[in-house]
Each structure stands twice: as structure tokens, then as C-alpha cells.
Amino acid sequence: MSKGPGRWQRVLLDALEESPFIGVGGTVWAHLDRPATRSEEVAARRAAKRLAETGQVRAIYRRLPRVDSKNETHQLVLTRLDYLMPSDLVPINASQWVDTRTAGQL
């Protein structure tokens, strides 16, 4: 039996109480007050995935320009279920747990 949200799930849910949407990577960095290790990044992403799969949050990707080039990067963003943020910003081949509907479809 589950004992409730895990460490990273709690961090993400607490952050969503303060803001209607959060960047997973930025939230982890702010919580740790330092850059996350690879294992911390993976654990936080896994927590975000589980929250989205269980319908507690909505997961989308935001396209962001890279500072050092003309290419783009994608940022995993979690939103509250009642917050409408355009999710037409999803990269090709997004994971099944990422919400690919646009705000007009919600």
C-alpha cells in the first residue's frame, strides 16, 4: 500500500500550491538550492510522470530557445488541473502521459 506522495511528488505538489504551473527542473533546483544531480533529475521527472498518470496534475512541454544556439529545448511543465495553459507546445513523439490537447480542447 502506498504511504502517500513520495519526496519529489510532495515537492512538486507543494510548488503547485504556490503557482498554477511549474517547470520541473527549476522547481528541483529551487528546492535543492543547487543544480540537481542526474539521479535527482530522473527521480523528479519520474515523480512528475506518476502525478500526471494518476490525474493529479497535467504535464505539458514548453518550447524554449537555447541561449547558446538557434535550436530549441523542451521544458517539462506541470500545471494544476484547473489551469488552462496551451499544450500545443508538445514536441513530436511526446510520452503518452504528456497532455497533448490544446487549451480549446480541455
Give the model's pLDDT for residue 1: 47
Flag whether 2 is in a domain. no
Pick the closest to residue 17 from 57, 46, 52, 48 (CA basis). 57
- What CATH number corresponds to the domain at position 30? 1.10.10
Flag whether 64 is in a domain. yes
Give the model's pLDDT for residue 106: 46
> Cα separation of 20 and 79, whole Å?
6
> What's the angle, vertex CA 61, arms to CA 56 and CA 66, rounded to 5?
145
Flag whether 28 is in a domain. yes
Give the model's pLDDT for residue 61: 80
Give the model's pLDDT for residue 90: 52
Along the chain (106 residues), what's the average pLDDT of each consecutive run of 10 residues? 82 96 93 94 94 90 72 82 66 58 50
Flag whether 1 is in a domain. no
Flag whether 58 is in a domain. yes
Q: Domain total for the chain?
A: 1
Tell me if residue 61 falls in helix, strand or coil. strand
Q: Which domain holds residue 50?
A: 7-105
Give the model's pLDDT for residue 88: 45
> Cα separation of 12 and 38, whole Å?
17
Cβ contact 84:103 at 8 Å: yes
Flag whether 12 is in a domain. yes
Give the model's pLDDT for residue 37: 95
